Chains A and B, each alone.
Chain A
Amino acid sequence: MERYTENNYASFWLQNGIIHFVYKNQVSIKYPMAIKIVADRLKIQQGVSYPVLCNIKGLKEIDKDSRRFLSNEGSSLITAVAFVSHTPLSSILTKLYTRNKPIIPTEVFQTEQEALEYLSQYV
């Protein structure tokens, strides 16, 4: 079953046991939005844990409180995260994010294909 959600900052859907999460272009994340991101994600998960493929190409900035929230309690019901990043900017943003050790396995990949291969062990 595919469950698709779209809002102001991202579109995300469940496909083959993986949550695909794609940030919209030029998104700046502040703490209240981080809370909303997690709430919306958990809504489509309906209480089940899944791995997440997160395409951050569109992400412009994310503040410290949001990073801490998302990498901590905001990671609830996620088994693993694979970020897809292939611009100098997104690579720096993932480095900032993973500096506070996330509570779940987190890896960064250049391509979606590599990311999906990594996540397949958590499906």
Chain B
Amino acid sequence: MTDLENRKRLENIFNHLIKMSSGNFSYRLERTNKTDELEALTALVNGTSEEIQDAFFHQSYINLHDSYRFASQMFFLLDEQFNIMELNSSPSKFLEYHTEDLLNNPFESFLSDNSKKTWGKTLKLKSSKKHEKNILLEFKTKTNLLLPSYCKVIFFSNASFLKGKTIITSFDFIQARKIIEEKLERKINQSNDTTKANKSNKKALSFTDVAIIRAIGEHLNTRLQLPLPNLKDLAHEFGTNEFKLKKGFKELYGMTASKYLKNQRLRKAHVLIADTNKSIKTIAKMVGLKRGNHLSREFKERFGYSPTKLRSKTK
């Protein structure tokens, strides 16, 4: 890479850090195919934005294992050639262009190279029967930063009022992990979508408390097949007390230590049921649940479908 290109990469990193320093963590740096120090720094800055963004939306650490995706409500109306005809005020704000610079330009020209490919594939749907699709698009700002947004793309047929036009709207906050889980649940149960609101307004823990509770959680993950230890002993082992442990689990993970362990066991069981041929009874034993029917009951309650149904769908 030439000095000029490297200088440009460094400049993008500065731009991004300036955005972060003013409290905006929604943007990402575009990655190159390099594996050098500058690329390592770029990956690290992106990883850091992702962590901080999630920490902000979690507020009090609830659902530590889930990520949120941020997307402002952008709205685009495209003509038959996919040029931008109309838009609301958000794209100009978030992509840093004047509205006039966006209007009448190809929608594609405001996407990252990766997303241009996704967009190209999506356009093929226009001629098929399916007229709506949810996709993740990375918008590219004027200063070369990426803004990943979950979008709904709606194509209108020539017969409709909007004659061959396309509408793109970006979503609101979404929990990425939840989307996948719910998609599978819907696929299995053919039932309707249900989203659970997250608890909020929890009191935050001190940095040391968080580190200790995290360490205890990680410790439990490594010994799922064993029973939950006595909480008092467990707390002492990690230099805290039973009260703080109980309070910490509720605040950090949003559940008791026992429920946390059960949740981790069920997550592991999910993978083993979906992707191995081991019997439910064997899997129950591997994840520390006494009997197969115990696993089946808890599993159904957690994921909304039974282990046997999951297995029949993934085989």
Interface segment, B35-43, B71-79, B151-159? B35-43
Contact A64 B51 (CB under 8 A): yes
Contact B275 A43 (CB under 8 A): yes
Beta-carbon nearest neighbor of A32 in chain B? B180
Interface segment, A1-9, A11-19, A89-97, A111-119? A89-97
Contact B40 A26 (CB under 8 A): no
Contact B275 A87 (CB under 8 A): no
* B176 contacts A by Cβ under 8 Å: yes
Kindly supply a per-residue 1/0 record for chain A positions 82-105, scoring 1 wherever the CB is within 8 Å of any chain B CB and 0 otherwise: 000001111111001000110110
Beta-carbon nearest neighbor of B272 in chain A? A76
- Which residues of chain B from 1 to 56 have any CB-CB distance to chain A below 8 Å in the complex? 31, 33-37, 39-41, 43-44, 46-47, 50-51, 54
Q: Known interface pairs A31-B177, A42-B276, A77-B276. Does A89 touch B47 (Cβ–Cβ under 8 Å)? A: no
* B274 contacts A by Cβ under 8 Å: yes
CA distance A91 to B39 in the complex (A): 11
Interface size counted on chain B using CB atoms at 8 A:
39
A77 CB contacts on chain B under 8 angstroms: 272, 276
* B199 contacts A by Cβ under 8 Å: no
Interface size counted on chain A using CB atoms at 8 A:
36
CA distance A57 to B34 in the complex (A): 11
CA distance A46 to B277 in the complex (A): 7
Contact B180 A31 (CB under 8 A): yes
Task: Determine which of A32, A73, A87 lies in contact with B35 in the assembled complex, contact meaning CB atoms within 8 Å.
Answer: A87
Task: Determine which of A35, A60, A73, A88 lies in contact with B268 in the assembled complex, contact meaning CB atoms within 8 Å.
Answer: A73
CA distance A68 to B267 in the complex (A): 12
CA distance A57 to B31 in the complex (A): 15
B314 CB contacts on chain A under 8 angstroms: 39
* A65 contacts B by Cβ under 8 Å: yes
Task: Determine which of A46, A64, A101 lies in contact with B47 in the assembled complex, contact meaning CB atoms within 8 Å.
Answer: A64
CB distance from A76 to the nearest CB of B (A): 5
Q: Known interface pairs A64-B67, A93-B43. Does A74 touch B35 (Cβ–Cβ under 8 Å)? A: no
Find the residue from A39, A73, A96 having the highest chain B CB count within 10 A: A73
A45 CB contacts on chain B under 8 angstroms: 276
A42 CB contacts on chain B under 8 angstroms: 271-272, 275-276
Known: A63-B50, A96-B47, A103-B222. 12 other contacts (CB 8 A): A31-B180, A32-B180, A42-B276, A46-B277, A47-B278, A57-B35, A61-B46, A65-B176, A68-B65, A73-B264, A88-B36, A96-B44
B residues neighboring A (CB under 8 Å) = 31, 33-37, 39-41, 43-44, 46-47, 50-51, 54, 65-67, 114, 176-177, 180, 215, 218, 221-222, 264, 267-268, 270-272, 274-278, 314
A-B contacts, 14 of them at CB < 8 A, read A31-B176, A42-B272, A47-B277, A64-B50, A68-B65, A72-B264, A72-B267, A73-B264, A76-B271, A77-B272, A87-B36, A88-B35, A93-B43, A96-B44
A residues neighboring B (CB under 8 Å) = 26, 28, 31-32, 35, 38-39, 42-43, 45-47, 57, 60-61, 63-65, 68, 72-74, 76-77, 87-93, 96, 100-101, 103-104
